[in-house]
């Protein structure tokens, strides 16, 4: 299975207040997000994290955190991902931008939402984070952040199903 997520902000106390996340502490936040991740993502699955993975520091434990999370993990670098996070063992790949072809659909992956993107006129799909559910995306543009998806990774099928639901209403 292929999954997407972003803006987990592990270890970052700022998200509890700024994003009104319903957790009593950073530790509770992190443990819940790890549990939700591992409920969705199996060890053999592939997951793309579209930035702002964790708040790193001298004792941040990024590699230990990555080891606790299921799946082959790819990082699209976000504005809060420092050099220690990017260099941590446990990532299958790290980059600022990627394009994937999945079931005949071109997916454009970046931490930031785009106004336009490669092959937009040919029905390519823009997946992003960064906006924490505050942006009203246009068609074929999806925020995969945890604030939008009940603190869980999401599949392409779930994204497309929600889009189909929006067009029916």
Could you read off the pLDDT of 88-139 as tens digits, one per residue?
A: 999 999 999 999 999 999 999 999 999 999 999 999 999 999 998 788 767 7
- In whole angstroms, give the CA distance from residue 152 to residue 61: 21
Question: Which one, of 108, 88, 97, 77, lies nearest residue 7 by Cα?
Answer: 77
Question: What is the predicted pLDDT for the residue at 59?
Answer: 55
pTM, to two decimals: 0.94
**Residue 96: both structure tokens together:** 């600022």
Domains along the sequence of the chain with CATH: 2-168 (3.60.21.10)
Could you read off the pLDDT of 39-59 as tens digits, one per residue?
A: 999 999 999 999 999 987 655
Question: What is the predicted pLDDT for the residue at 55?
Answer: 86
Biggest alpha carbon distance in the chain? 49
């Amino acid at each position: 299975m292929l999954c997407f997520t972003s803006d987990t902000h592990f270890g970052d106390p700022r998200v509890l207040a700024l994003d009104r996340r319903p957790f009593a502490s950073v530790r509770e936040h992190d443990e819940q997000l790890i549990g939700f991740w591992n409920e969705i993502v199996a060890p053999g699955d592939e997951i793309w994290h579209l930035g702002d993975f964790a708040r790193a520091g001298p004792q941040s434990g990024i590699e230990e955190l990555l080891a606790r999370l299921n799946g082959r993990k790819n990082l699209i670098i976000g504005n809060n991902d420092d050099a220690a996070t990017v260099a941590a063992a446990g990532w299958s790949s790290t980059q600022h931008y990627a394009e994937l072809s999945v079931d005949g659909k071109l997916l454009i992956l970046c931490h930031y939402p785009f106004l336009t993107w490669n092959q937009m006129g040919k029905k390519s799909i823009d997946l992003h984070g960064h906006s924490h559910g505050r942006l009203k995306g246009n068609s074929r543009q999806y925020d995969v952040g945890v604030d939008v998806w009940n603190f869980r990774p999401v599949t392409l099928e779930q994204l497309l199903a929600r889009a189909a639901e929006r067009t029916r209403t």
